[in-house]
């Protein structure tokens, strides 16, 4: 039987509409959805061809319990009763990772379980590893931690400034929408990236700074704007505070000094500043409207030991130029996972309740009244801290849903040694990945194609997913598993088990919407009828919000925060490790690769980790295109296949962090962290590269061990 089911793509944060075509309960084709306002009938290779992972034979089909050192199949009752007994022993030394790939409903039930039953705010998710500095800076300076504008504003802008991001690889449909603006509207393009990304070919100005010099670069841009009087004085006066002190800090150095520190041409820096602050109007812009600029950034900004300072320097720029609160401008941190926005919105962060509501009396009161019990008021530990504090015994048990930290944490050997010390580890996922292999209990979860729910994309649009194929094996939706567990544990800790008696994802969403002002006007009935809605949507007749900050910022005035360039990175090159390693992503794999390594066509397209190296460095090291190379840092080693290209600066190499053939960049990366966000410095560490020596034949000539046998 053939069926078509409208849903939302499970890969990056763009949130494209997809239509899953099935025949006899197998997915046969993934179609685009021209009616979806975020993707407008576009998809990328992962969304179109990458979905077969849901039917992979590796899918977990039953719960597993570790017995006599091995993970062995168990019933749901056995597994959940065991988890319930064990977790009760570890209240007070417990932490949980939620999944930015799961739904808002899954996230909401998980944070409710952690706060209510486990009595802690130790819950976090992968936003810690991608945009926590952006969120910290936006909350501090504006009062809200989300993208201000919409994708449609990329097409309405007169200038796009892309900083430390590669939409062509990581947000391909956003890249298509940007190329459409360049092609059809003559939009200007400024690119800031230490690597020459594909879109740089189209740029009016391309700045290729030295790694870790972002604050100098953006202070330099600000200095140009000030020197030439291009700032928006009216906006600064009416909408902001802290300008004078910030200005004094910026004026400590000249444009030439800033450009020198960042390793860019001062004239190019000035040109970029002019384009951002006062771009020439794009084609078709009504004369009455001021030409706007969108400031778009990715992890090139955040994943530094001064990631929050980097984000602050960008927000300062947006305030200075008054590029906020109108169509065709704004600030956009591009989100990496399908529901990383929603997972935070639903409360899976340690320092606030759903909807970013603080642990103050009046906000918490509504939750306590609804949930019929007290909730902890002390902010919990951040994800990276939970891992590091396994060593001190502050965390002894963990419950990890839909994440594989042993691919995504920095310094993997160190992270693995910590996870091995856990006294009790529960992993709930689709596959038996690196982290699950260390677990004491593994619970099989459903994929996005088997359940109802909602994802919230990078432009704050809440969109439905719907079941297209039957559940694989005994797998269950994440929210259902956690609610079942919570009902088993609740009476033992004085909680009414009816708090977790949800009959459907829709019931969960209704409670989330009731407790979260920004979602209060949404319901499944509305989402099914109207399609996705952008929050804030406070009432059932509210149409949703295309852009934020039209009249005021949630904190009142926008706040300038002085920032100064600190040491470029915690670890810089030296004689022993002379090159800088930069990490990122590629089009054909998704993040660590737990999912895309299970799609035949994607593995065929890219089956080994590439290392981009400048021709000058390659020549010095005797490395040619396609050579197998070994990369070492103080923390580990990996092998890769050399790509010799001048897209990277001399002295730098680039490796995507996908793990292929047991080789992954995160064996090398440095577990040092930014304050206050606690994001790791994935973007800079020191490495040594050499050509891999062929293994001597005679040594491996012996019969393989497995064949000796009996």
- For binding to another protein (CB under 8 A), which residues are involved? 19, 21, 27-32, 34, 40-45, 48-49, 51-53, 55-58, 168, 172, 176, 179-180, 182-183, 431, 587, 593, 597-605, 607, 659-663
Give the whole-angstrom CA distance, residue 196 versus residue 194: 7
Give the whole-angstrom CA distance, residue 443 versus residue 484: 12
Nearest distance, CB of residue 582 and another protein, angstroms: 22
With b meaning 16 or more CB within 10 Å and e meaning fewer, what string describes 19-48? Answer: bbbbeeeebeebebbeebbbbbebbbbbbb
Closer to another protein by Cβ: residue 400 or 587 = 587
Nearest distance, CB of residue 513 and another protein, angstroms: 31
Nearest distance, CB of residue 657 and another protein, angstroms: 13
Closer to another protein by Cβ: residue 120 or 463 = 463
Closer to another protein by Cβ: residue 305 or 475 = 475
Nearest distance, CB of residue 60 and another protein, angstroms: 12
Closer to another protein by Cβ: residue 108 or 151 = 151
Give the whole-angstrom CA distance, residue 543 versus residue 69: 55
Nearest distance, CB of residue 161 and another protein, angstroms: 19
Helices of type H across 73-171: 76-89, 104-112, 127-130, 132-141, 151-156, 167-170
Give the whole-angstrom CA distance, residue 166 versus residue 261: 23
Closer to another protein by Cβ: residue 177 or 649 = 177
Report the 3 state secondary structure along 633-683.
CCCCEEEEEEEECCCECCCEEEEECCCECCECHHHCCEEEECCCCCCEECC
Nearest distance, CB of residue 604 and another protein, angstroms: 4
Inter-residue contact 513 to 526 (CB < 8 Å): no
Give the whole-angstrom CA distance, residue 648 versus residue 365: 53
Q: Which of 675, 681, 565, 554 is nearest to 138 (CA)?
A: 554
**End-to-end alpha-carbon separation of the chain, Å?**
50
Closer to another protein by Cβ: residue 404 or 565 = 404
Nearest distance, CB of residue 222 and another protein, angstroms: 32
Nearest distance, CB of residue 273 and another protein, angstroms: 27
Closer to another protein by Cβ: residue 307 or 584 = 584
The 8 Å CB, 24+ separation contacts for 209-212 are: 209/262, 209/263, 209/264, 210/261, 210/262, 210/263, 210/568, 210/649, 211/568, 211/569, 211/580, 211/582, 211/652, 211/683, 211/684, 212/304, 212/306, 212/567, 212/568, 212/569, 212/572, 212/683, 212/684
With b meaning 16 or more CB within 10 Å and e meaning fewer, what string describes 436-455? Answer: bebbbbbbbbbbbbbbbbbb
Closer to another protein by Cβ: residue 34 or 358 = 34
Q: Which of 217, 274, 324, 355 is nearest to 560 (CA)?
A: 324
Nearest distance, CB of residue 28 and another protein, angstroms: 6
Residue 506 CB burial class (10 angstroms; 0-12, 13-18, ≥19) = middle
Inter-residue contact 299 to 169 (CB < 8 Å): no
Nearest distance, CB of residue 71 and another protein, angstroms: 15
Closer to another protein by Cβ: residue 28 or 566 = 28
Helix (H, G, I), strand (E, B) or coil at 333: strand
Nearest distance, CB of residue 22 and another protein, angstroms: 11
Nearest distance, CB of residue 694 and another protein, angstroms: 14
Q: Which residue has the tokens 């685009």?
A: 32
Token duo for residue 179 = 């190329």
Closer to another protein by Cβ: residue 236 or 599 = 599
Beta bridge partners, 455, equal 463
Nearest distance, CB of residue 40 and another protein, angstroms: 7
Closer to another protein by Cβ: residue 312 or 659 = 659
What letter does residue 703 receive in the DSSP assignment? P
Helix (H, G, I), strand (E, B) or coil at 686: strand
Closer to another protein by Cβ: residue 382 or 591 = 591
The 188-192 sheet, strands edge to edge: 205-207, 188-192, 159-163, 293-297, 330-333
Closer to another protein by Cβ: residue 659 or 678 = 659
């Amino acid at each position: 039987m053939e069926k078509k089911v409208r849903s939302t793509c499970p890969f990056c944060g763009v949130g494209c509409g997809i239509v899953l075509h099935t025949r006899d309960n197998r997915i046969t084709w993934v179609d685009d959805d021209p009616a979806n306002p975020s993707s407008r009938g576009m998809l990328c290779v992962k969304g179109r061809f990458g979905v077969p992972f849901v039917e992979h034979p590796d899918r977990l089909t039953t719960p597993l319990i570790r017995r006599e050192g091995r993970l062995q199949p168990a019933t749901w009752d056995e597994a959940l009763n065991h988890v319930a007994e064990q977790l009760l022993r570890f209240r007070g030394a417990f932490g949980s990772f939620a999944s930015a790939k799961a739904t808002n409903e899954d996230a909401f039930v998980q944070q409710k379980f952690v706060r209510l039953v486990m009595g802690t705010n130790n819950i976090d998710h992968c936003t810690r590893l991608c945009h926590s500095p952006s969120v910290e800076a936006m909350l501090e300076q504006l009062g809200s931690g989300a993208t201000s504008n919409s994708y449609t504003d990329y097409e309405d802008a007169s200038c796009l400034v892309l900083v430390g991001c590669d939409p062509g690889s990581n947000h391909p449909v956003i890249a298509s929408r940007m190329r459409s603006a360049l092609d059809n509207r003559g939009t200007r393009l400024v690119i800031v990236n230490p690597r020459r990304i594909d879109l740089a070919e189209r740029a009016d100005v391309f700045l290729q700074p030295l790694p870790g010099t972002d604050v100098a670069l953006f202070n330099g841009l600000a200095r140009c704007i000030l020197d030439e009087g291009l700032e928006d004085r009216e906006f600064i006066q009416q909408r902001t505070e802290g300008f004078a002190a910030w200005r004094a800090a910026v004026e400590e150095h000249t444009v030439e000094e800033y450009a020198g520190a960042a390793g860019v041409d001062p004239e190019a820096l000035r040109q970029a500043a002019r384009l951002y602050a006062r771009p020439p109007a794009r084609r078709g812009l009504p004369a009455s409207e001021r030409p706007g600029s969108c400031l778009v950034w990715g992890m090139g900004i955040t994943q530094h030991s001064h990631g929050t300072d980097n984000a602050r320097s960008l927000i300062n720029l947006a305030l200075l130029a008054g590029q906020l609160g109108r169509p065709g401008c704004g600030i956009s941190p591009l989100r990496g996972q399908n529901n990383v926005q929603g997972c935070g919105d639903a409360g899976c962060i340690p320092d606030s309740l759903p909807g970013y509501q603080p642990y103050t009396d009046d906000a918490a009161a509504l939750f306590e009244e609804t949930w019929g019990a007290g909730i902890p008021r002390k902010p919990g530990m951040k994800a990276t801290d939970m891992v590091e504090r396994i060593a001190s015994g502050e965390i002894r048990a963990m419950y990890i849903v839909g994440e594989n930290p042993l691919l995504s944490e920095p310094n993997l050997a160190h992270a693995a040694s910590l996870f091995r010390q856990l006294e009790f580890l529960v992993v709930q996922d689709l596959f038996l990945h690196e982290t699950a292999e260390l677990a004491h209990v593994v619970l099989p979860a459903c994929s996005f194609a088997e359940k109802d729910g909602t994802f919230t994309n990078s432009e704050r649009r809440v969109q439905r997913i719907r079941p297209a194929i039957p559940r694989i094996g005994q797998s269950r939706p994440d929210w259902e598993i956690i609610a079942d567990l919570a009902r088993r544990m609740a009476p033992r800790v004085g909680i009414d088990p009816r708090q977790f008696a949800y009959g459907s994802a829709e019931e969960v969403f209704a409670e989330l919407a009731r407790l979260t002002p920004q979602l209060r006007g949404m319901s499944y009935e509305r989402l099914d009828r109207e399609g996705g809605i952008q929050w804030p949507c406070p009432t059932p007749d509210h149409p949703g919000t295309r852009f934020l900050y039209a009249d005021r910022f949630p904190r009142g005035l926008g706040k300038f925060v002085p920032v100064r360039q600190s040491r470029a990175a915690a670890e810089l090159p030296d004689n022993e490790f002379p090159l800088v390693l930069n990490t990122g992503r590629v089009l054909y794999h998704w993040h660590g690769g737990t999912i895309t390594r299970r799609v035949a066509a994607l593995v065929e397209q890219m089956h080994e980790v590439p290392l981009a190296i400048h021709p000058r460095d390659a020549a010095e090291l005797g490395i040619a295109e396609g050579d197998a190379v070994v990369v070492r840092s103080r923390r580990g080693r990996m092998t890769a296949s050399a790509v010799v290209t001048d897209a990277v600066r001399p002295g730098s190499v680039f490796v995507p962090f996908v793990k292929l053939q047991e080789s992954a960049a995160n064996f090398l990366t440095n577990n040092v962290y930014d304050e206050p966000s606690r994001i790791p410095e994935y973007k800079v560490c020191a490495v040594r590269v050499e050509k891999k020596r062929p293994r001597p034949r005679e040594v491996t000539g012996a019969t393989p061990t497995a064949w000796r046998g009996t």
